[in-house]
Amino acid sequence: NVTVAFVGLGAMGYPMAAHLSRRFETLVWNRTHEKALQHAAEYGSRAVTSVAAAAEADILFTCLPTSAEVAALAGDVISGAGNGLVWVDCTSGDPEVTRELAVRLAGQGIEFVDAPLSGGTAGAEAGKLSVMFGGAESTLEEVRPALEAFATKIVRVGEVGSGHAVKAINNALLAVNLWAAGEGLAALAALGVDVGAALEVINASSGRSNVTENLIPQRVLTRTFPATFKLALLAKDAGLAMDVVRGARASAPVIAMTESLIRAAVNEIGPDEDHTAALKLIERWSKTEIR
């Protein structure tokens, strides 16, 4: 009987751990312990009071803001880990930090792999996330039944760290699409074009993306901007994408500029606002509302 543990019951982790607890004995730990207690009461998981206790499971999941918070747990994980622990990091993390951590943990008999996610909080709640897996094929097979508790698309993209690299580029594409769609639609709005009508036809045309099909209609046109994925996290991901670009000695001026624009939006609009609220900066600059 496989026991799993989940560390980081945030917007993504809370519903992911709920799916796990329907199939496995699940330990949960969260910095703010009340959330772990609430999770246990709601889903029958078991709230533990230390990361070391969580590390006694067979598979340990983490989903924290950045790799810095993940790496900071390593000492506690090492002190609590049983034989053959596999640590699956679902954070949108830093490939470099992850590779270094994997080497350090391997020396302690712990296998560290990366499995960042896409699909948002809606995907996490539905158990229909996509996973970009970085690690050995055999490790993927070992943890696949647990990943399948919350994911419907699981792709191994390479050795440890490569999942994070793919995730960073995916989110850079999200940022580029978001910003470009915002610029284009703000211009149309300023011309007096109805943005809803424009999107109706763009979404049956070649310029469509998840941004035009879902994010802008659901979050911007409604003016609700629900904060399910924080602007600060998108800026972090765009920065990681530029690290990937520099590490490859590649040239990516559009991604570089978009990172800067998203950083400006974090400062002007606020780190905890939803990522789609970045378009409020475009609205200010163009003195028009996207509607």
Q: List Cα–Cα distances, 287 to 183, 184, 282, in angstroms.
A: 12, 14, 8
User: Binder to ligand NDP among 15, 17, 27, 35 (CB under 6 A)?
Assistant: 35
Q: Does 6 bind ligand NDP (CB under 6 A)?
A: no
Distance between first and last Cα of the chain: 53
Distance CA 73, CA 18 (A): 22
User: Binder to ligand NDP among 26, 45, 91, 177 (CB under 6 A)?
Assistant: 91
The one catalytic residue among 167, 230, 236, 280? 167
Residue 192 C-beta: closest distance to ligand NDP, Å: 34
The set of long-range contacts for 153-156, using a CB threshold of 8 Å and a minimum separation of 24, is 153/129, 154/130, 155/130, 155/131
User: Binder to ligand NDP among 121, 203, 210, 218 (CB under 6 A)?
Assistant: 121
Kindly tell me which of 217 and 239 has the beta carbon lying closer to ligand NDP: 239
Neighbours of 246 (CB within 10 A): 11
Q: Does 54 bind ligand NDP (CB under 6 A)?
A: no
Q: Does 266 bind ligand NDP (CB under 6 A)?
A: no
Residue 14 C-beta: closest distance to ligand NDP, Å: 8
Residue 270 C-beta: closest distance to ligand NDP, Å: 14
Q: Which stretch binds ligand NDP (CB under 6 A): 39-47, 112-120, 130-138, 184-192?
A: 112-120
Nearest C-alpha neighbor of 247 from the set 171, 168, 135: 168
Residue 213 C-beta: closest distance to ligand NDP, Å: 17
Pick out residues in 9-28 that bind ligand NDP (CB under 6 A).
9-13
Q: Does 229 bind ligand NDP (CB under 6 A)?
A: yes
């390479």: which residue's tokens?
A: 158
Distance CA 73, CA 29 (A): 12
User: Binder to ligand NDP among 59, 105, 117, 220 (CB under 6 A)?
Assistant: 117
CB 264 within 8 A of CB 212: no
Residue 116 C-beta: closest distance to ligand NDP, Å: 6
Nearest C-alpha neighbor of 129 from the set 61, 40, 39, 47: 61
CB-closest chain residue to ligand NDP:
10
Kindly tell me which of 6 and 24 has the beta carbon lying closer to ligand NDP: 6
Pick out residues in 145-204 that bind ligand NDP (CB under 6 A).
none
- Is 167 tagged catalytic? yes
Q: Does 31 bind ligand NDP (CB under 6 A)?
A: yes
Q: Which stretch binds ligand NDP (CB under 6 A): 95-103, 117-125, 217-225, 278-286?
A: 117-125
User: Binder to ligand NDP among 22, 32, 75, 254 (CB under 6 A)?
Assistant: 32
Active site residues: 167
Residues engaged in binding ligand NDP (CB under 6 A): 8-13, 30-32, 35, 63-65, 69, 91-92, 117-118, 120-121, 228-229, 233
